[in-house]
A and B are shown apart, each in its own frame.
Chain A
Amino acid sequence: MAALTPGFRARRRAPGDRLPPGQFTTEGFPVLSAGPTPVVGTDRWELTLTTETGDRRSWTWSRLMALPQDDLTTDLHCVTRWSKFDTRWGGVSLDVLLEGVDTHATYAWIESYGGYTTNLPLADLRDGKAWIAHTYDGRPLPAEHGGPARLLVPHLYLWKSAKWISGIQLRLTDQQGFWESLGYHDYGDPWREQRTWGD
């Protein structure tokens, strides 16, 4: 049993309607990354969607921008315990990208420029829950926050919202991504505090 440190308290607030357990709110926007920030110009940016049968469709930057665009305001929850309320984003709903895609897949495997990966159920990309975000607070998404474009899945811990997204593979079986294979949770629901394996 570790010795108590008198008077020391976690920097957290009582959970509430908007603040999941174990979190505190921040006004800043901390930058977390598993590696150097990749430089990806919109002239060579491409997003590829691959189904379990190998069917592929891809979008260049201009094709992405020609699709119907959403504006949304949402709260972010990071597994490192900060939450940020009322962040404003612009991007393309995954519903638009997945429309008409013939698949029996249950899982999605996300790949990024720079080598990052993450996994989540395909259902969590559907029904207005996920976006390819390219605009933050009215401006082009800065590279340190995942620009030119990142996945945004705000109902899960933020490591699922892969920065610098380059690909989405639809799969019949789950495969763990970068942090998931180092003990982080396969689903990552902040409201159930699914931080690590076994949570």
Chain B
Amino acid sequence: MSGWTVARLVARTKESDTARTLHLQVPGWPGHLAGQHIDVRLTADDGYQAVRSYSLSAPADGDQVAISVQPAPYGEVSPYLVEEFPEGADIEVRGPLGGWFVWRPDRTEPVLLVAGGSGVAPLVAMLRARLALPDGPAFRLVYSLRRPQERWFGDSLDALDGRSDVAVDYAYTREAAPGATRPVGRVRQEDLLIDGFTPAQRPLCFVCGPTAFVEHCADILVALGHRPDRVRTERFG
């Protein structure tokens, strides 16, 4: 699909105290791959336009897609989308976009996902695409976040309890969950050295988050011996 098309906000659901997932209906949506994003274009009544990119946080559901938005302090677009954009209203979108930071369901190697904060959105889309398969490669999500209350997609992640082939580890940087044994702090080498996902197993690694987080984690992965072209990154800037 190329060019802009009109989408409608059909629902807004809560991911955390501040973040929301927007469910958009896009007539004629062609489907998408996990990891792809859309561009969203907003037009004010004086003609001013703003364009932003948001990762799709779930596999396509017919002509419905989902983006998850953290309102930036003093932001121009994200607070509007979270707090003001009315249900039933229209917005222009373009996509699906991107073909590099994607996971295709025919891949067979293990997948290591490393998320920083709201960078979890495209990675959860990959995890959900894997869970939609009856059988598939091992997945591990390392999810770095400040504190447990800031976790997104809690229901989907809690549903993994008891599974070993698809699992999540949390790396809290400020305040840990009750009973967590890992000391709080930024992601360390031992957080990313995981049985089944070592360089010898040649996993595909996807890292998404703020620029400094992505560079820190990608450096660790390459230092561990992962081939740079198997460490795919998406920086929020």
Contact = CB atoms under 8 A, between A and B. Distances in A.
B92 interface: yes
Please classify the interface of chain A as helix (H, G, I), strand (E, B), loop, or mixed, using the class held by over half of its residues: loop
B44 A10 contact: yes
Interface in B19-70: 41-46, 48-50
A2 B86 contact: no
Number of chain A interface residues as a range: 10 to 19
Interface string A5-18: 11111110000000
Nearest to A26: B74
Nearest to A27: B74
Contacts of A7: 80, 84-86
Nearest to A10: B48
A2 B45 contact: no
28 contacts: A2-B4, A2-B49, A2-B92, A3-B6, A3-B92, A4-B44, A5-B42, A5-B43, A5-B85, A5-B89, A5-B91, A5-B92, A6-B85, A6-B86, A6-B89, A7-B84, A7-B85, A7-B86, A8-B43, A8-B50, A8-B84, A9-B44, A9-B48, A10-B46, A10-B48, A10-B76, A11-B75, A26-B74
Contact of A3 (B43, B84, B86): B43
Interface string B82-101: 00111001111000000000
Nearest to B47: A2
Nearest to A28: B74
B79 to A, nearest CB: 9
B43 A4 contact: yes
A199 B45 CA distance: 21
B4 A8 contact: no
Contacts of A4: 43-45
Interface of A: 2-11, 26
Contacts of A11: 74-76
Given A2-B41, A2-B49, A3-B43, A8 B6 contact: no
A7 B91 CA distance: 12
A27 to B, nearest CB: 9
Of the candidates A8, A9, A10, the one having the most CB atoms from chain B within 10 angstroms of its own CB is: A8
Contacts of B86: 6-7
Closest 7 CB pairs of A and B: A11-B76, A5-B42, A10-B48, A2-B43, A8-B42, A6-B89, A8-B44
B72 to A, nearest CB: 11
A76 to B, nearest CB: 17
Given A3-B91, A7-B86, A9-B44, 9 more contacts: A4-B43, A5-B42, A6-B89, A7-B80, A8-B42, A8-B43, A8-B85, A10-B48, A10-B50
Contacts of A2: 4, 41, 43, 49, 92
Contacts of A9: 44, 48
Contacts of A3: 6, 43, 90-92
A5 B24 CA distance: 14
A26 B75 CA distance: 11
Nearest to B91: A5
Nearest to A7: B84
Contacts of B4: 2
Contacts of B50: 8, 10
A132 B84 CA distance: 45
B24 to A, nearest CB: 13
A118 B179 CA distance: 57
Given A10-B50, A11-B76, A5 B6 contact: no
A26 B43 CA distance: 22
A2 B42 CA distance: 9
B90 to A, nearest CB: 5
B96 to A, nearest CB: 20
Of the candidates B44, B80, B90, the one having the most CB atoms from chain A within 10 angstroms of its own CB is: B44
